[in-house]
Structure 1
Amino acid sequence: MELQDLKSFIEVAVHKSFTKAAAHSYLTQPSLSKAVKKLEEELQVTLFDRSTRHLHLTDAGKIVFQHGQKVLATLNELNVHLDELREITSGEIKIGIPPLIGTLFFPKIASDFNKQYPKVSLELIEHGAKLIGSLIENGEIDLGIVVLPANEEKFNIYPFIQDEFVLYIQEDHKLAGRNSVSLHELKDERFIIFSEDFTLHDYVKDACKKAGFTPAISYQSSQWDLIIELVSS
């Protein structure tokens, strides 16, 4: 069934005249007549009672008219939803965020985003930065927030914040009163760091090796609040 034939039939049914339908739809009367005849042959029914001066729908015509209107309404609704999606006014976005960054930044990001795009839902995927990179590369998430550096050949990268990397120690530690500490002074300390899925895991180990030692790691975790509690205790 051709959609245009169905539209032509509905035009004629609404105006109850091929002449009036032709004037309204800017199609010729023969074109409308041909479309209706084609539809009748395809459905193997008579759509109009042509025995009187004015056209009247047959019982079959009434059924086709009702369902045809529903079809056109559904198609119009489909176009509206697609237009909204193309304009990014509705849909879903999957964002990969490391737990630490998610806790610090995501509530603000989500709030601002919701004000601008209230019909777009955000699905938060919490993983370490290294795994987030893989998820983006495989198309499993739409975007991710990671710790730099990242592969600029594979991804479009947009830095949005720069922060200081600091040493976190228990308040009674012998180095607690210092304004600064060199990495080399930590060669005999035991480290509690993020797990291997996190870019910060490699960052700490590489920095220590550049300072001349391999860090002694006593515990690894993906939960930053747990790491803080472990250091504190």
Structure 2
Amino acid sequence: MEIRHLECFLEIVRLGSFSKAAKVLHISQPAASKMIHAMEQELGLPVLYRQNRNLTLTDIGQAVFERAQPIVALFHGLHAELEDVAQARKGRLRIGLPPIASSSVFPQVLGEFSRLYPDISVNLYEFGSKTIEKEVYDGMLDLGVICSPSDNSEFSTLSFIKDPLQVIVAPSHPLSERTLLSFADLAQEQFIMYREDFSLHDAIANRCLQAGFEVRCAYETSQREFMTQLVASGLGIALLPQAICATLSPQQLRAIPMTDPVYLELGAIWRRNRYLSFAARSWLDFTKEKLAPKNIK
């Protein structure tokens, strides 16, 4: 069994798709299928259970998944270090990004970085902040962009965005004429919430508890557009960063500032005391310059 087989297997499991994994690895989908078939032949047991378009790990697949992660992470680290020793200004960079970050300045920053470093391949993985932290810790991601990076001895951090959340409601909602709201004003509302693997989910829920009530969740989603559509349909309220609220149509949604806002704080994290490749160092330096971070720990 080769490293490339394990790498392909991990990408398929993480992305839930042969075609998406093949695209990330720059191979064809039949080639990805062939690698998994070769693994299963060597092991004598299936590693994935396929039903319609859904993929599920078998028991042996789960065991391989858990043991393959540190092996592939060590190989990536060695490969990156050897490239740097050879002074090659190239490499592969794996960055975890929460969906909400796609509405910030990141698309522009990533585009400028790719033009400056055309030989660095950047692969983006969209997860919630909690999942990104785990993937960075396990070595499956080089860097992660997360909401509300906290003091954690396992990670180094670079903070660069702080944006207050505002309440969005449909124009017909009773709160739509208010110019300022507190969390106490939202006690009777149904919330369209971020998924539980998003740190903003916990931040909003905790602030509601501080205001004396438990959040009533109508729907959970990771997609900002779906969230705004649900609110526009009158199915609940939601909280979005001010920068995103500024782009919303007032004919479809009202955005109302808060007296005691929760803040979207975005920052990069990477595993402390782990080798950081030329590609990762270059991205951090570039992002630091472009986004003028407030602090580095």
Corresponding position of 1:180: 180
- Bigger fraction of residues in strand: 2
Q: Distance in 2 between matches of 1:219 and 1:128?
A: 16
Distance 1:88 1:155 in 2: 26
Deviates more, 1:106-115 or 1:196-205: 106-115
- Which structure: larger Rg? 1
In the other structure, the counterpart of 1:200 is 200
Aligned residue pairs total 153
- Counterpart contact for 1:95–1:125, Cα < 8 Å: yes
- Residue 98 of structure 1 corresponds to 98
Partner of 1:190: 190
CA RMSD of aligned residues (A): 1.9
Report deviation, 1:115.
2.4
Give yes or no for contact 1:88–1:120 (8 Å, CA) kept in 2: no
Aligned counterparts, 1:21-32, within 5 A? none
2:193–2:201 contact (8 Å) kept in structure 1: yes
Deviations 1:124-159 (A, max 9, x none): 000001110110111110001111142431211110
Instruction: Give the partner amino acid of 1:135.
Output: E
Q: What amino acid does structure 2 have at the position aligned with 1:146?
A: I
Change (3 A) 1:114 1:210: same
Quick one: higher RCO (CA 8 Å, sep 6+), 1 or 2?
A: 2
Asked if the contact 1:89/1:118 (under 8 Å) is kept, the reply is no
Distance 2:191 2:88 in 1: 45
- Per the alignment, residue 36 of structure 1 pairs with none
Question: Which structure 2 residues correspond to residues 20-99 of structure 1 after superposition, within 5 A?
Answer: 87=87, 89-99=89-99
CA displacement 1:102-137 (0-9 Å, x = unmatched): 243332121111122110010000000111011011
Q: CA deviation at 1:173?
A: 1.0
Shift of 1:83: 5.6
Shift of 1:85: 6.9
Relative to the length of structure 2, the TM-score reads 0.49
Gaps of at least 5 residues in structure 1 are 1-81
In structure 2, distance between residues paired with 1:83 and 1:130: 30
Long gaps (5+) in structure 2: 1-81, 234-297
Which of the two has greater helix per residue?
A: 1
Quote the sequence identity (%): 33
